[in-house]
Structure 1
Amino acid sequence: MIKKVAILICLSPFFIYAASLKYLQFSGNKYFEEDQILEALGLETPSWYQFFKDKRVKIDPKYSNALLQTLKNFYKSEGFYEANIQKDEDNQTITFIIDAKKPVKVHSIEANLSSEYKRFINFKKGERFKATKFIKIKQNIKKQLLIDGYCNALLDTKAYIDLDKKTSDLKYHLQKNGLCKFGKIDLFIPKNIDKKVILSRLNFRSGSTYSSKKIKDAYSSISGLEAFNSIHIKQNQNTNTINLTIKLSPKSKRITEEIGVGYETDLGPKAIFNWSQRNFQGDARKISFNLKYSKKEKYISNTLFWPAFTTLPFTKDYYLDLKNEFSFSKYNYEKFDEKKISNILHLQKDYYLFSIDSGIGFEKIYINKKGEICNISDGHFFLLYPFINFILDTRDSKINPKNGIYISSYLESGIKYLRSDTTYMKFLSEARAIRSWDKLTVAIKGKLGLINEFQKSLPESKLFFAGGAFSNRAYGYNRLGATDSKCKDMGGKTMLDTSVEADYWVWDKFGFALFYDATMLNLQTSKFDTDFKSSIGTGIRYLSVIGPIKIDIGYDIKDSSQYAIHFQVGQSF
């Protein structure tokens, strides 16, 4: 009996509080969605997946006056300066009665800005004046000025409101005051890391033109070394000079191990093991070992990354990174089995919007046909080839881009004079364009591949295949071969792979996608006369802390029985 009384005593305050809550509703609202008003008040309704919950909002009456004032401020910020909002309350409901009255509208816009900054002024004459939009425009212009190097610019913005005429006159006046420069750069870094390693991550030096984007890129590039627990870059401005202080603290845990199991559409169940040591032998070097095991694929690799390995030719303090990748693999294709030993040596450099990656690779490949398969050569192949890859990347994000372009061109050439079994050239170029309008993002992507064999044939696995999350999504990874081949799933020497995708974000973190993919693969070099394999599909998007999580399903337009489902983290554009 005592326990029951105690429970009742403990629970009674909860019921008293719940009973004191009242429903909140709005009357006379003509201009805004109710969700928009609730967001302005800091209130939320249950999410779309919580369909079983009451969608009506309840509040504590003692906060109603504060919410009323917040609502009045919201209407003022949206141009309704004379809005009359009253509160009505009964036993169950609190009602905000809204009489918005006439809004203030934009009468004139005066700006002495050049086109690259005037584009941010997206007010139009006759449009309702919004204080929040006015402030956002100023923030965007100042942000662009810092990106362009004008750290000392004076931007004067004014909105003259005439409540009698219900008009606003907007004035924007800009004084750039000259470009800013980077001044002294002080480094405070761990003793076992040379200063040149950190300088190699900076796309600027003392005397270079200042840009806030260069600072942002420096954070990203230094973080990419994976050698530091914390990165602090302090900017000290002296008129048109920005002095920097960079402080880095070393990572306490240098060795990481990962063991896991997973599943891939083409490989089936798989087991993986990764071991890596950061700051290996100092200077932010990294060494890693990776193993992957499945029924179709057995793979082991060793990678060494050495930042600032040597200076860039014709420069004194710009550096090239070295990366060496050694691997051994076995893969069971549908028509043949392959064993491969490879070693690829890279010298690479990222500089602002550009990247260059050059080096030399060798591959020892053993092909064993499964029966008499036309056009597939078995035996062993030794390939030795120099390669180079250029990249231009103006995307605003590499994880989830909203605007920008990406262009890459890759060329490798095997030459018998370098003891390669085959003399050939392989070219692969890709272009992407991304543009966003509010919640809608549209991306267009195209890829061109050409292979020319001058002496002897390449092994089948070096030819072009398509399909997968980054290609034609009606097919699994590399499951689409040349369409003019008499044998199924043969690789091509000419490839055109295109895609158009539209992502619409219904909420901040959740969206839907529609896409169209088209691929042409031809057995011959520079032949574009075969039919395209086209697919359409849809997908869902969720924006997580590690990037967009995507699930896509694509169907072949001419054969709906041919489809594939893809799961990936990160955007495909």
Structure 2
Amino acid sequence: MPDWWQPLIILKNCSKPVDPEWRFPSFGMRPMNKSQFFWVSVVCLFASLGFMIAGTARAVDETLAYTVVFRGVEDDPSLQSALESVSVTRKRQEQPPATMFLLRRRAKDDGEIFVQLLHSKGWFDASVEPSFAGEGASIVITFHVVRGERYRFGVPQLRLLTPRTEFIPPTMESLGVKEGNPAESEPIFAAADQLLAYAHKMGFPEAKLVDRRYELDRAAHRLDVALDLLPGPLVRLGKVHFIGAEGVDQAFLDKHLSWRPGAVYHPKRLERIQRAFMGTGLFATVNVVLERPTAEGELWPVAVHLTQRKHKTIAAGGGYSTDKGINVKGAWEHRNIFYRGQRIKVNTELGTDAQSAFLSHETPDFILSGQKLSFAFRLDRNLEDAYESQALQVGATVLRPVLAPGGEASIGLEWRIADVIEKSDESRSSFATTAIPLGLKLDRSDDLLDPGQGWRWNSEVKPVFTFSSSGDPYVRLANRGSIYRTLLAVPRVVLAARGEVDTVWGTTHDNLAADQRLYAGGGGTLRGVGYQLAGPLDQEHKPIGGRSLLALGTEVRWRAWENVGLVGFVDGARSYEGEVPDLSEGMLFGAGVGGRYVTPIGPIRMDIGFPLRKRSQVDDSFQIYVSIGQAF
């Protein structure tokens, strides 16, 4: 009997009920009266408690430490790994129990779990017994595993509970349960799931697995499996009716349906129209429900429950930077202007150095489902250190989703006229151009405004033709990419990096309009260096732009508190006069820190950047940037 039981026995004996007429046995001694017996009982009680505390302290003070060994599974590392993964004795090895009794209990519980795991792997005659060697801090627990012969599947059966049905069942072998294979539980449960999925895809959405029957033949070491399926009726889809579609044109809704009445049910048919309606941007939720017909043999109606978003949006924003000053932005959007999902949007921007107005109209499902046609009208006025310009641009673009999810290809036609004054020589030129932009966007990031995982890529090739005396035809190529990796989930730490390579081919530097040249520097490319100053400069240190650009950047984003984050960044960028970046000229670099305040519309960003190689009479000691959204 363990030592720690002794105080409990003493306490039990001292706490028995006392008969008023009972006298403590004398054993040859003088009998005690009730008062004497009371005080003896009190002393006995406290003595028992003392023994209990001392016994517990002695048990705790005996430090236990142990190692775990498995015998009988050395030839199967995957099985040993599976046993270790469910072993509490192994997982809590650094937290040994207080007593040897509790340690034995822990090992016994593990043995029962091991037997269940071995049964699930096909060893139905398996047994596991733990043994102990050593004591104190050098105990070795050995689990002796006796697997026995592994059971195999017999001839599996699939029984249909409907005598007359159009359902053609799959073979059990195709579901992963094959005669002669190890009788593991995982293929059985997987086969049941696959059977229901198969029935749904064949047009039987009400199919139910009624029973799974097993028969274990220990003499033959065989497990016989039978599945009972109630397939239900073959479903053909009927009329679709919409709930919650007030104000949306019926023809527009019908255009998103992907089947005709009478088509056999398939879960992807319903999923496809759910995605199509969500993709219009008109609805907050879309729920597609299959309804039972009023009579047997009729087509099954489909109900589409829609919750509409507000069709109109007004937005406002702004920002500040020490190199560009203050800018204020406003936007108005209507997402169902003509009741067929057409979208019209107006954007304006008023800044210290730039003002613009932008109007666009977008038509969904242009010719093909998912394809969009966009018309845009834009006015710009810029007062930069490099140039002053006024421009009018009109364009049309067809956009189509590709390489889903998150992919979009585009082709467009743009007309642009501009009046440009170059600050370096005060020359003034007028330009009239037509361009055919070809674009490809890929977005595999997990969040539009604050990504933590994934990547993005944006490429554009734009041939530009001139119809004025100023300028030459040219081709502009732009490639931008970014990548995001979450290094730590709590607190959230994200490593983000970006890169950009742009070039202009087919014209000289001087014949390229100053507002179409490539510039680096500022919050978009190189924080810490003034706007457009990371590139060729004239004698008065004014930027003159280039025909190629290279930019790199990296950030570490740390969510220090729930709504507050800190950022450290390093940027590098430069524009070059040649068509290809001349790496011998090097790059300019900036570094700094920033803060983020997370809001539902995206993080509010404030960065302070410092040039790592300050140029005399060109660079300031630092630059400050305030805006909404991450830098990239």
Which bin holds the TM-score, normalised by the shorter protein? 0.5 to 0.7
Change (3 A) 1:460 1:274: same
Question: What does 1:174-213 align with in structure 2 at a 5 Å threshold?
Answer: 175=190, 188=242, 189-190=245-246, 191-192=248-249, 194-195=252-253, 198=256
Residue 503 (structure 1) shift: 1.5
1:281 corresponds to 2:335: no
Task: Give yes or no for contact 1:104–1:166 (8 Å, CA) kept in 2.
Answer: no
Q: Indicate the structure with greater strand content.
A: 1
Which one is further off, 320-329 or 350-359?
A: 350-359
1:470 corresponds to 2:524: yes
CA distance in structure 1 between the partners assigned to 2:382 and 2:607 by the alignment: 26
Aligned to 2:434: 384
CA distance in structure 1 between the partners assigned to 2:534 and 2:326 by the alignment: 24
Per-residue CA distance 1:476-504 (angstroms, 9 max, x = gap): 5x433424765531212111100111122
Residue 554 (structure 1) shift: 1.3
Residue 106 (structure 1) shift: 11
Task: Give yes or no for contact 1:358–1:389 (8 Å, CA) kept in 2.
Answer: yes
Aligned to 1:531: 586
Aligned to 1:480: 533
Aligned to 2:306: 248
Question: What does 1:82-161 align with in structure 2 at a 5 Å threshold?
Answer: none
CA distance in structure 1 between the partners assigned to 2:432 and 2:65 by the alignment: 76
Letter in 2 for 1:385: A
Aligned to 1:433: 483
Select 1:297's aligned residue among 354, 379, 385. 354
- SS of residue paired to 1:195: helix
Aligned to 1:319: 370
Select 2:611's aligned residue among 545, 556, 562. 556
Letter in 2 for 1:488: K
Task: Give yes or no for contact 1:320–1:348 (8 Å, CA) kept in 2.
Answer: yes
Task: Give yes or no for contact 2:321–2:625 (8 Å, CA) kept in 1.
Answer: no
Residue 347 (structure 1) shift: 0.8
CA distance in structure 2 between the partners assigned to 1:106 and 1:505 by the alignment: 41
Extract unaligned runs of 5+ from structure 2: 1-60, 95-119, 122-127, 133-140, 146-183, 204-236, 259-263, 292-300
Letter in 2 for 1:525: E
Aligned to 2:514: 460
CA distance in structure 1 between the partners assigned to 2:89 and 2:596 by the alignment: 37
Task: Give yes or no for contact 1:422–1:457 (8 Å, CA) kept in 2.
Answer: yes
Change (3 A) 1:102 1:289: farther
Aligned to 1:48: none
- SS of residue paired to 1:541: strand
Residue 425 (structure 1) shift: 0.7
CA distance in structure 2 between the partners assigned to 1:461 and 1:429 by the alignment: 19
CA distance in structure 1 between the partners assigned to 2:458 and 2:412 by the alignment: 16
Aligned to 2:551: 497
Task: Give yes or no for contact 1:511–1:541 (8 Å, CA) kept in 2.
Answer: yes
Residue 367 (structure 1) shift: 0.8
Residue 535 (structure 1) shift: 1.1
Which one is further off, 558-567 or 440-449?
A: 558-567
- SS of residue paired to 2:367: strand
- SS of residue paired to 1:283: coil
The higher radius of gyration belongs to 2
Aligned to 2:628: 569
Task: Give yes or no for contact 1:405–1:433 (8 Å, CA) kept in 2.
Answer: yes
Question: What does 1:309-348 align with in structure 2 at a 5 Å threshold?
Answer: 309-311=366-368, 318-348=369-399
CA distance in structure 2 between the partners assigned to 1:530 and 1:549 by the alignment: 35
Select 1:364's aligned residue among 392, 414, 417. 417
Residue 286 (structure 1) shift: 1.7
Q: How many residues align?
A: 414
Per-residue CA distance 1:325-358 (angstroms, 9 max, x = gap): 1011221122432010001211112342321122
**Normalising by structure 2, what TM-score?**
0.55
Aligned to 2:5: none
Change (3 A) 1:437 1:310: same
- SS of residue paired to 2:366: strand
Per-residue CA distance 1:234-254 (angstroms, 9 max, x = gap): 5779xxxxx996422445x64
CA distance in structure 2 between the partners assigned to 1:106 and 1:221 by the alignment: 56
1:540 corresponds to 2:595: yes
Task: Give yes or no for contact 1:322–1:345 (8 Å, CA) kept in 2.
Answer: yes
Residue 466 (structure 1) shift: 2.1
Task: Give yes or no for contact 1:469–1:567 (8 Å, CA) kept in 2.
Answer: no
CA distance in structure 2 between the partners assigned to 1:112 and 1:236 by the alignment: 45
1:352 corresponds to 2:410: no
Task: Give yes or no for contact 1:112–1:172 (8 Å, CA) kept in 2.
Answer: no
Task: Give yes or no for contact 1:484–1:522 (8 Å, CA) kept in 2.
Answer: no
Letter in 2 for 1:444: A
CA distance in structure 2 between the partners assigned to 1:218 and 1:103 by the alignment: 62
Change (3 A) 1:525 1:282: same
Aligned to 2:443: 393
Residue 365 (structure 1) shift: 0.9
Letter in 1 for 2:605: K
1:268 corresponds to 2:319: no
- SS of residue paired to 1:310: coil
Task: Give yes or no for contact 1:521–1:530 (8 Å, CA) kept in 2.
Answer: no
Change (3 A) 1:417 1:483: closer
Extract unaligned runs of 5+ from structure 1: 1-98, 131-155, 238-242, 312-317
Residue 269 (structure 1) shift: 4.4
Q: Give identity over the alignment, percent.
A: 18
- SS of residue paired to 2:279: helix
Letter in 2 for 1:554: G
CA distance in structure 2 between the partners assigned to 1:111 and 1:250 by the alignment: 56
Aligned to 2:223: none
